[in-house]
Amino acid sequence: MNTNKTVLSIIDKLKPAKKAVELSIVNDIDSSFDYLEQSYSEASFAPDLFEEWINRLNAFNNEMSIEVDNFMLNGSARGLEEAVEQMRVWIDELELKADDLGISPDSLVSNYAEIKNILESADSVNESLRSSYQELRREANERFGLADFS
């Protein structure tokens, strides 16, 4: 019996400590509820937010693809190199024939000076076209890549 009384006495002494522990847990729960609720709310909203951004990215990507594809595939800039090569052949031939006749090529072709200027800078312009197109492609691929935080 004496052991029973000793055990009961120890239990009685622990009851306030147990209540303190219980109150501490209640305080922890109460103080953490706002963060839990906010975290839950944001996590619940995330799929809609991310779907909206996916839709925006897709819309932008489609718009950019259409415009760039139309420019690069259907535009005349794509044919610059070939047009320059052909025009150089014709201008060279014109200059030879004009020289044989003793006349100036610009008296035969109204846009001769402009054509010569275009032919002189065409390689540089074509290189700028190609490099800027590659830069656009690289930037688009890099910028649409997102870090994986999951």
Q: What is the pTM of this model?
A: 0.60
Interacting residues of 57 by C-beta distance below 8 A, sequence separation 6+: 144
User: How confident is the model over 89-146, as pLDDT tens digits?
Assistant: 999 999 999 999 999 999 999 999 999 999 999 999 999 999 998 888 888 878 775 5
Q: Which of 73, 74, 79, 60 is nearest to 125 (CA)?
A: 79
Q: What is the pLDDT of residue 150?
A: 37
Top-confidence residue, 4 or 73: 73
